[in-house]
Amino acid sequence: MAERPGPLVLIGPPGAGKTSVADEMSKRTCGARIEIDAGWVAQLRRQPAIAAVEPVALVGPDGDVLPSLRRAYLMAVRERLTSAHGEATAARALEQAKARAAIDMVERAGDDAIVDFGAGHSIYEHLDLRAAVRAALSRALVVLLLPCAEPAAAVAILAGRLAAQGRPVSAARLAEYVEHPSNRALADATLHTGTCTIAEVAAQLVALAAELRASGRTGPCGRSG
């Protein structure tokens, strides 16, 4: 993995195992693990469109938004943007801020970093923003994690995992994540993890990275695991 140009970026729906696999890969490679979800709100707040409508009551005295308040913060920002500019403009502003935050964090990642992209950060409805994120990821190896190839089965597996973890997500919402074209547009390869353990998935990623590096990577969705 040390020869791999750019960071390894893991994308995929909630429950795909990105965080656990990123932890394991970081231990194996000694690369820094970067969690986009953990840092993106700070990046988001730097965007002028967001700062203009920020609910300051949800910002702590240290100038940060507590993890427990992030959902309320984002909902308040969306409501205020929608009220001021309409739903379409609000959606565009939030997605643009999300893209800028993701791009900034990826560009600052070291070549040996393992990046847990977070389920929502690889989903873009605006094609220009998706293209901008893809351009930032051009120096990275991007792998889409899915439990299996068949969408309905993947949704069922993910729903079961998330329910067991106490963070249920509706099947309809999971289907949007699993089938959204944005993930496949950003990915260099898809790895179907099946019933593999985290350690086994990490080993597969090492092999996949070596294979893609040797072949020069064929572009988005170059290989399915």
How do residues 10-49 score in pLDDT, each as one tens digit? 999 999 999 999 999 998 888 899 998 888 888 888 888 8
Amino acid 23: pLDDT: 93
The answer to whether position 223 is within a domain reads no
| Distance of alpha carbon 56 from alpha carbon 64, whole angstroms | 10
The answer to whether position 1 is within a domain reads no
The answer to whether position 194 is within a domain reads yes
Name the amino acid, one letter, at 82: T
| Distance of alpha carbon 142 from alpha carbon 144, whole angstroms | 7
Is residue 120 within 8 A of residue 98, CB to CB? The reply is yes
The answer to whether position 174 is within a domain reads yes
Domain span including residue 42: 8-215
The answer to whether position 22 is within a domain reads yes
The answer to whether position 134 is within a domain reads yes
| Distance of alpha carbon 31 from alpha carbon 211, whole angstroms | 20
How do residues 33-92 score in pLDDT, each as one tens digit? 999 888 888 888 888 888 999 999 999 888 889 888 988 999 999 999 999 999 999 999
The answer to whether position 222 is within a domain reads no
Q: What CATH number does the domain containing 138 carry?
A: 3.40.50.300
CA distances from 224 to 138, 148, 166, 184 (A): 19, 10, 30, 11
How many CB atoms are closer than 10 A to CB 126? 14
Buried b (16+ CB within 10 A) or exposed e, 93-108: bbbbbbbbbbbebbee
- Structure pTM? 0.87
The answer to whether position 224 is within a domain reads no
Number of structural domains (the chain) is 1
